[in-house]
Structure 1
Amino acid sequence: MLTEFLSLLCLGLSLGFADEKKNETLPKPSLSALSSLVVGHGGNVTLRCQSHFQNVTFTLGKLQDSGYRQEQRSTGHKAEFLLTHLEPKDAGMYFCTYKTMDSQEWSGESDYLQLEVKDDLDGRGATEVKN
């Protein structure tokens, strides 16, 4: 009877541990630019998102535009998002998140990167922010 009790106790503890692991939040990823974050009108920039895990799905988002989302699966620890033919409207704060293949939950957002697109027409740096 004591061995049955100990077996059930161990089973309960291990199930509780599994539940705890499920509710753990994923560490936030890092986001960096492979070149300058100040880009001329029509220019390109590559943003790299990195996580501590392999085999993840990354998303790139824009703070001022909830409809903006690029998604990319990666077998490694990182994904690179190429932003091309940039215009002043593309300027803003970018972030990335990820989820592992085992999880349906997304990580927290990376720190934000401020992308500036210079408007060559008037020579000023234009950073458009949508409300």
Structure 2
Amino acid sequence: MITEFLSLLCLGLSLGFEDEKKNETLTKPYLSALPSPVVEQGRNVTLRCLGHRHNVTFMLGKLQDSGYRQEQRSAGYEAEFLLTHLEPKDAGTYFCAYKTMDSQEWSEASEHLQLEVTDDRKKRRAPPGGK
């Protein structure tokens, strides 16, 4: 009788724990650009999304393009999204989010990161008159 009671108690506690995990909100991740959010045209940049959980799926999105979305699974607490050969069209406002393997809900989006792509070739041209 006591064994049955303890088994039911443990089952109830574990089911309650699963419900608690499902209702848990995921903390907002942090997005950064390496080496910098200002990048010369043709160069590369890494957008790093840092979450507060491990074993998650990270997502990188762009505000100006609702169809832009990259996803990456990570065993750790972060994911790196490499953007190569940047063009002016790559400039814009990026954000990231993550979800756990148990959840289909994304975390709150990170603060927005403004990526700027510059054309330094124009700056290097000598002005008329050779100065």
Partner of 1:60: 60
Q: Equivalent residue of 1:89, what SS?
A: helix
Letter paired with 1:46: T
Divergent runs of 4+, >2 A: 11-21, 119-123
* Within-5 A mapping of 1:83-102: 83-102=83-102
Give structure 1 stretches of 5+ with no counterpart: 1-7, 124-131
Larger Rg: 2
Q: Distance in 2 between matches of 1:99 and 1:15?
A: 21
Q: TM-score when scaled to structure 2? A: 0.77
Q: Distance in 1 between matches of 2:16 and 2:102?
A: 18
- Asked if 1:22 is matched to 2:22, the reply is yes
Alignment size in residue pairs = 120
TM-aligned CA deviation for residue 30 of structure 1: 0.7
TM-aligned CA deviation for residue 14 of structure 1: 7.5
Letter paired with 1:40: E
Percent same amino acid among aligned pairs?
A: 77
Partner of 1:105: 105
Q: Equivalent residue of 1:19, what SS?
A: helix
Give structure 2 stretches of 5+ with no counterpart: 1-7, 124-131
Letter paired with 2:110: S
TM-aligned CA deviation for residue 23 of structure 1: 2.2
**Cα pair distance change 1:17/1:56, threshold 3 Å:** closer
Please give the root-mean-square deviation of Cα atoms over the aligned residues, in Å. 2.5
